Amino acid sequence: MADAQTHMDGLEFMKWHGAGNDFVMIDSRARDAVVHRELAAGLGDRNRGVGFDQLAEIRSSDAADIDLDFWNADGSRAGACGNATRCVAQYMMDQTGRDALTIRTSRGVLEARADGDLVAVNMGQPQLTWDTVPLSHDVDLQHLPLDGDPVAVGMGNPHCVFFVDDADAVDVAGIGPGFETNPLFPEATNVEFAEIRSRDEIRMRVWERGTGITLACGSGACATAVAAHQRGLTDKKVRMELDGGWLMLDWREDGVWMTGPTAFVYSGQLTQAFLKGL
């Protein structure tokens, strides 16, 4: 640990957000990966660190323009993060002057591109079998054997989507943790509460696995759009209002495309004292 801390002395980072879903980004293309569980958890502490919903580490790639690793605020690994992917894509496009790039994550190689002032990313096709979500055993994904009749969808990470009459009335903090750790989800799950406003508009709130309530969740927005269409409640293309803003979702033949805003907030540098305290 001491050698790693010495190596990371003066480690630079950036703070971004997409629709209020906030991230720390670390660019490690010029070196080996530096993020570990203790660093992720320390940075994720909003009182003693920087605070984030997810951390994204950018690395060099032999299969895409860049590789991208995600971490949750509790120090656990995150399998997918759509809004962070969009923010990293904006950062890379600003650096290179390009309007499109490929990003390899644990989800596979994703395509991202500029869309006017917004950024779009193809999050791939949803995972719609019990073992790919994953669940602990074979059940009907459209009607899980849980209170509230939720839907299970995988988007590189698991999601449990509830359809409710009034999303703003849901006690997300009270209900979310119990479903996050339900034994039906062996890797735990993100939990979404979605209100259908029309065939092309959804209001959604989210409890994120390993983090808690967040203002937006890109993979959760994708999963909610998929679940709503599968239930026959919406078309494949919808607008979605989250606590932090709006995202556009479009489930196409090549995957679920998500489009929305990004914002660079500030950059900073970690101190040696902080790193030694991890």
Do 172 and 88 sit in the same domain of this protein? no
- Cα separations in angstroms, 40 against 16, 37, 48, 61, 145: 16, 5, 12, 22, 34
Do 211 and 271 sit in the same domain of this protein? no
DSSP 8-state symbol, 127: B
Those residues with Cβ within 8 angstroms of residue 6's Cβ, 6 or more apart along the chain or in another chain: none
Q: Encoding tokens for residue 11?
A: 């480690």
The pLDDT of residue 7 is above 50 = no
Active site residue 87: no
Do 19 and 103 sit in the same domain of this protein? yes
75: left (phi over 0), alpha (psi -120 to 50) or beta: left
Residue 47 counted as an annotated binding residue: no
Average pLDDT, the chain: 95
Q: Encoding tokens for residue 215?
A: 């203002």
178 falls within a domain: yes
pLDDT at position 1 is 40
157 falls within a domain: yes
156 falls within a domain: yes
* Cβ atoms 258, 159 nearer than 8 A: no
Q: Is the peptide bond before 134 cis (omega within 30 degrees of 0)?
A: yes
Do 245 and 194 sit in the same domain of this protein? yes
Do 57 and 101 sit in the same domain of this protein? yes
Q: Whole-angstrom distance between the N-terminal and C-terminal Cα of the chain?
A: 9
Residue 190 counted as an annotated binding residue: yes
* Cβ atoms 65, 92 nearer than 8 A: yes
Do 26 and 83 sit in the same domain of this protein? yes
Q: How many residues does the chain have?
A: 278
The pLDDT of residue 3 is above 90 = no
Of the chain, the percentage scoring pLDDT greater than 70 comes to 97
171 falls within a domain: yes
* Cβ atoms 45, 70 nearer than 8 A: no
Active site residue 81: yes
Residue 54 counted as an annotated binding residue: yes
Do 14 and 98 sit in the same domain of this protein? yes
134 falls within a domain: no
142 falls within a domain: no
Tens digit of pLDDT for each residue in 114-146?
999 999 999 999 999 999 999 999 999 999 999
Residue 97 counted as an annotated binding residue: no
What is the DSSP track for 207-272?
EETTTEEES--HHHHHHHHHHHHHTTSS-SEEEEEETTEEEEEEEETTEEEEEE--EEEEEEE--H
Residue 208 counted as an annotated binding residue: yes
| pLDDT interval class at 275 (50, 70, 90) | confident
* Cβ atoms 141, 152 nearer than 8 A: yes
| pLDDT interval class at 2 (50, 70, 90) | very low
Do 110 and 196 sit in the same domain of this protein? no
87 falls within a domain: yes
Do 12 and 92 sit in the same domain of this protein? yes
Q: Encoding tokens for residue 92?
A: 């890379």
Catalytic site residue from 81, 87, 160, 222: 81
Do 173 and 69 sit in the same domain of this protein? no
* Cβ atoms 203, 167 nearer than 8 A: yes
Of the chain, the percentage scoring pLDDT greater than 90 comes to 92
Residue 209 counted as an annotated binding residue: yes
Residue 82 counted as an annotated binding residue: yes
Catalytic site residue from 87, 160, 217, 222: 217
Mean pLDDT value of segment 180-204: 98
The domain tally of the chain equals 2
Do 100 and 19 sit in the same domain of this protein? yes
Do 93 and 157 sit in the same domain of this protein? no
The pLDDT of residue 31 is above 80 = yes
Tens digit of pLDDT for each residue in 8-30?
457 999 999 999 999 999 999 99
Read off the CATH number of the domain in which 19 is found.
3.10.310.10
Q: 63 lies in which domain range?
A: 2-115+262-276
164 falls within a domain: yes
